[in-house]
Structure 1
Amino acid sequence: MRRLWCQVCGSPAADPNGRIPWILTETAIRWDPGWPGVAITNAPPTCRTCIPGSLAACPQLHKSADVYTASAAAPAGVLGDVHEPTPSGLMLPAGMHEVEVRFDNHRYLPSVLAHSLLVRVFDLQPAI
């Protein structure tokens, strides 16, 4: 995700013009309020070559998928399960699953077991 490689082939996903293609579903995107064209996602980018095959082969993408391009992306947080420390130092599940924890959320960040990185994508535009 940090290197912006295609989630399918592992090659750099950016177009020659520098824009980064992303296939985003309604469950994989959260628009950042107050920031037009900026969103948070845990979906990796997909290069132009792999987009048609991905859209054809993935049943989840048949439900809702839009292709966008972004001018840049930056790590914003993690998606994971929050745990609580016990007096003995063990970490036990706190019952909070699939929680979006931004890097500026100092309360939960030390106790989250992350499964995916969240990135903030900038200047999202529908791909043509």
Structure 2
Amino acid sequence: MDQITFEAPLWAWVAVGAVIAVMLAVDVFAHRDHLVIDLREALLRSAAWIIAGVTFGLVIRLWRGSGPAAAYYSGYLLEKALSVDNVFVFALPVGKLPVWLTLAVVVLTPATAVAGSAVPARRGTRAR
């Protein structure tokens, strides 16, 4: 199996770090007055972060090709599945989740991880 390597120049790492710092600053400082947000606002914020992640993958695809982009998207999907799983792991002790939702999490988390790991296999590459 071929190993996917991704070497980036220093300016690219600095640019990514700067973009992440700006996104975190906006997330922390622009919303510090909101103690409780409604479902609509939470969904909009989540959609914005997902769009940012997908856009970054498109930049990688245009810059370095489909192999590194597939590796990025696989890692992104795996991390997304794990972060959603963590939300439910923290919420379960509270005991307010319905049984059907708990079962859906138990089924969908591994399914999402398997789907994410299948992307490089479908393209003939393997992320390491």
TM-score by length of 1: 0.23
Greater fraction strand: 1
